[in-house]
Amino acid sequence: MASIQQLQTTLKLTYGLVPIVAGLDKFTNLLTNWPDYLGSFAGMIPFEPPTFMAIVGVIEIVAGIIVLLRPLIGAYIVMAWLICIALQLIIGTNFYDVAVRDLVMALGAYTLAQLTRHTSGK
């Protein structure tokens, strides 16, 4: 059976590396065409969609690094970020399946924060 430390490490690597990979992909669009996820918000942002997504990519990369270095605070940052993305997808697009996935991922980030709090004694 996996220990709490093993579970925390798995979640830390997941919530650290996935935002870094997704952030890097905002510059290449190899996984998907990220500007499509802006939906009706595309016309409201002060930048061209690819520029905006590059900014989002940098934020995601930084969030992933924070998770790897400071998992307690990083997990809360990623959780909040995923909730914001899900809300944007619900309000401005038809990507409801992705919104649900992001909400489930936010719960996983919350779980990482709680495991980290438990193992650090805070």
Distances (CA, A) of 45 to 14, 59, 70: 30, 16, 31
Task: Give the CB-side neighbour count of residue 65, counting CA atoms within 13 A.
Answer: 8
The span from the CA of 118 to the CA of 21, in Å, is 28
The span from the CA of 35 to the CA of 29, in Å, is 9
- Domain edges within the chain: 4-120
- Per-residue pLDDT, averaged over 104-110, amounts to 97
What global pTM score does this model have? Answer: 0.88
The 10s digit of each residue's pLDDT in 9-42 is: 999 999 999 999 999 999 999 998 888 888 777 8
Tell me what percent of the residues of the chain surpass a pLDDT of 70: 98
End-to-end alpha-carbon separation of the chain, Å? Answer: 25
Q: How many CB atoms lie within 10 A of CB 93?
A: 17
- Per-residue pLDDT, averaged over 108-117, amounts to 95
Q: How many CB atoms lie within 10 A of CB 42?
A: 15
Q: How many CB atoms lie within 10 A of CB 55?
A: 12
The span from the CA of 19 to the CA of 26, in Å, is 11
